[in-house]
Amino acid sequence: MAYTFYKYDYNTPHPDTARANILSNDKGMTIELEAPGFSRSDITVETKGSTLTVTAKRTDAPEEKYRIQEFNAHHLTRSWTLPKSIDVDKIVAAYDAGILTLTMPYRSDSVFETRRIEIA
């Protein structure tokens, strides 16, 4: 149980931290981010160097006083440091049914070779 009668369990993610799935294959990586209750215009996706940041803020939602808040439909933020192999200029974002999907292809000059490492 995440809460024991209004006592916060610190193993539970903070309400402002959106949950994400990260997938990878031979073409690139995909991040699926939970962002229910937002419109496309509420969401900003930015890169700065190798950092990818997603923020969402609803300006039309009234502020409520919650006793327990396990998710936040007013504001979220999440950042990742991307590997150098990702082509940040070709990241594509799509938003459907409360899920933000970020498709991030590998750079064309990224070559992944299998290399066996000998154990000394």
**50-103 pLDDT tens trace:** 999 999 998 776 677 878 777 667 788 899 999 989 999 999 999 999 999 999
pTM above 0.85, yes or no: no
Close Cβ partners of 43 (under 8 Å, ≥ 6 residues apart): 35, 54, 55, 56, 93, 95, 100
CA 54/CA 77 separation, integer angstroms: 6
Domain extents for the chain?
3-60+68-105
The pLDDT value recorded for residue 3 is 40
Tokens matching residue 61:
């939602």
Tokens matching residue 7:
């006592």
CA 97/CA 94 separation, integer angstroms: 10
Tokens matching residue 65:
């006083």
CA 93/CA 102 separation, integer angstroms: 5
Which CATH class name applies to 3-60+68-105?
mainly beta
CB 24 within 8 A of CB 68: no
Confidence of residue 111 (pLDDT cuts 50, 70, 90): low
Better-scored residue on pLDDT, 75 or 29: 29
